[in-house]
């Protein structure tokens, strides 16, 4: 599988987000457009929901001074091919209010770094937990300004990005995220800790 097969430019920096379209809300989309505006030779690779979704996102991009051609929509594939095509991307951009869940896990398993933003509610902390569990907490941002800055920095520093990809290739085999027996044991311990906390009449103490 090649970039040509997927309709991607050979020499562009490919930002990617294969999340469902309903997770793409205005504030994060505007950040994505700022990132594209500051990285001239880049595209954003998305998974379409419908022709209407594609048309609306392209229209919103053009409103912000970004050529519609820089948003590239891909077709749905079966799981093995879907995982394989991740490797054609340079960097995954996570969504804000509702993070990627399976989407982030797929990208990390495929060896593609994910830039994420951590908020307060569970749905906006999932990618943070996944990145920490795979040993890449430096990709968890505390603000949208940091998120934007990190995405641009990695696009402009191929050596730094390559180092992170190499770390991910090793860590996905050794860190807890994809270690199922270890995960089962850890979650059992977490349930016990929560039960003991409840019995003691204490509030929630767990941070993820």
Give the pLDDT score at 123.
87
Q: Which parts of the chain register pLDDT below 70?
A: 203-208
CA 193 from chain center: how many Å? Answer: 30
Give the pLDDT score at 205.
61
User: Nearest CA to 107 among 17, 179, 183?
Assistant: 17
Give the pLDDT score at 124.
84
Sort strands 42-46 and 13-17 into parallel, antiparallel or unpaired: parallel
CATH dotted code for 13-174: 3.40.50.2000
Give the pLDDT score at 206.
56
CA 163 from chain center: how many Å? Answer: 18
pTM: 0.87
Please state, in angstroms and rounded to a whole number, the distance separating the CA atoms of residues 192 and 121: 22
Sign of CA dihedral 181, 185, 191, 197: negative
């Amino acid at each position: 599988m090649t970039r040509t097969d997927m309709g991607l430019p050979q020499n562009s920096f490919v930002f990617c987000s294969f999340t469902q379209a309903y997770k793409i809300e205005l504030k994060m989309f505007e950040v994505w457009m700022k990132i594209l505006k500051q990285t001239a030779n880049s595209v954003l690779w998305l998974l379409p929901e419908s022709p209407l979704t594609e048309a609306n996102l392209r229209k919103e991009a053009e409103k912000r001074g970004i050529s519609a051609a820089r948003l590239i929509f891909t077709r749905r594939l079966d799981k093995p091919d879907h995982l394989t095509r991740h490797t054609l991307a340079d960097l995954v951009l996570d969504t804000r209010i509702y993070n990627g869940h399976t989407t982030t896990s797929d990208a990390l398993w495929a060896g593609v770094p994910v830039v994420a933003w951590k908020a307060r509610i569970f749905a906006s902390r999932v990618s943070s937990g996944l990145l920490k569990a795979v040993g890449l907490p430096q990709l968890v941002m505390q603000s949208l300004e940091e998120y934007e800055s990190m995405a641009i920095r990695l696009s402009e520093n191929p050596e730094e990005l390559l180092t992170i990809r190499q770390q991910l290739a090793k860590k996905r085999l050794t860190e807890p995220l994809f270690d199922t027996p270890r995960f089962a044991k850890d979650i059992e311990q977490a349930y016990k800790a929560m039960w003991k906390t409840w019995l003691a009449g204490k509030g929630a103490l767990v941070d993820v």
